[in-house]
Structure 1
């Protein structure tokens, strides 16, 4: 092996060792590893699950808040085709909105995902007393259709990460 080749290998090895050292130092000194999780929480505040869920992990109730017969069943089938877990279908009091999303502290991340299916035009109705993770979707008279997969992905990008409602402690549960 020539001297130039040995010198090149030494330089590459030195650069690899320096990169490893910088990576370890960055991980050890990371001050943002728990950013936004539990900071400033008051005792007694409910824990809001801000984990962005996959559709297969989200349980929903689809309710018809319009005069259109069978709308809840049709949209529930659409959600089921998109891998959501349908708990119930039925009727609800009439609403003029596109949709109303009702959820509790355990459904914050799930409701955030569902907002994207309505292009962030759904009214959110947070209930701090609700104990389950199921999200109620009440379809209103302004509803036309669910967003396409591309529109959902773009809307999720626009929405950013799920945010805990006021007077809750954000947690990420697995």
Structure 2
């Protein structure tokens, strides 16, 4: 073996050892190891459940905030036909001008994200940190025309990405 070849192997070996040392130091001293988990959460912040549930596992209440009689019942039937768990329907006293408002708490963040797709991501979020259940209230507004089709829902979910924890909350640890 020539001297040039031995020198090249020594240099490559030395670079590999240095790279390995840098990787080990970076992993050991990582200060963001708890980022995105409840371990890095400030004291007292609620944990937001970001699990994107199947339709059959999502509980909803449907409210009519328009002048159109029977709208809540009609939409509730559509949601039931799509396998959602409709708990109750009623009329809302205060009218809503937009398409819909989704009211939910920390346990309903993932469910609200799924429901948002049924309104093509145009429903107004109504996050309430004090709410303790996982039910989402769907309040239909004057701008509501119809629920999205299955294809539109899938496209909307793809466009919106993964659910995000609302401001002032921390993501709940993922169950493995």
Question: In 2, distance between residues paired with 1:103 and 1:84?
Answer: 16
Q: Is the 8 A contact 1:51 1:172 kept in 2?
A: no
Structure 1 unaligned spans of 5+: 1-28
Question: In 2, distance between residues paired with 1:53 and 1:69?
Answer: 31
Q: Which residue of 2 aligns with 1:135?
A: 136
Q: Which residue of 2 aligns with 1:170?
A: 171
Root mean square deviation, CA, Å: 1.9
Q: Which residue of 1 aligns with 2:62?
A: 62
Q: Secondary structure at the match of 2:38?
A: coil
The CA deviation at 1:39 is 5.8
Whether 1:152 aligns to 2:117 is no
User: Number of residue pairs matched?
Assistant: 145
Q: Which residue of 1 aligns with 2:17?
A: none
Q: Relative to structure 1, is the Cα distance of residues 152 and 53 closer, same or farther in structure 2, using a 3 angstrom cutoff?
A: same
Spell out the pairing of 1:68-87 with structure 2 (5 A cutoff).
Answer: 68-87=68-87
Q: Which residue of 2 aligns with 1:88?
A: 88
The CA deviation at 1:34 is 7.5
Q: Secondary structure at the match of 1:111?
A: helix
Q: Secondary structure at the match of 1:60?
A: strand
TM (normalized to structure 1)? 0.78
Structure 2 unaligned spans of 5+: 1-26
Question: In 1, distance between residues paired with 2:56 and 2:33?
Answer: 27
Question: In 2, distance between residues paired with 1:39 and 1:109?
Answer: 20
Q: Is the 8 A contact 2:36 2:170 kept in 1?
A: no
Q: Which residue of 1 aligns with 2:44?
A: 44
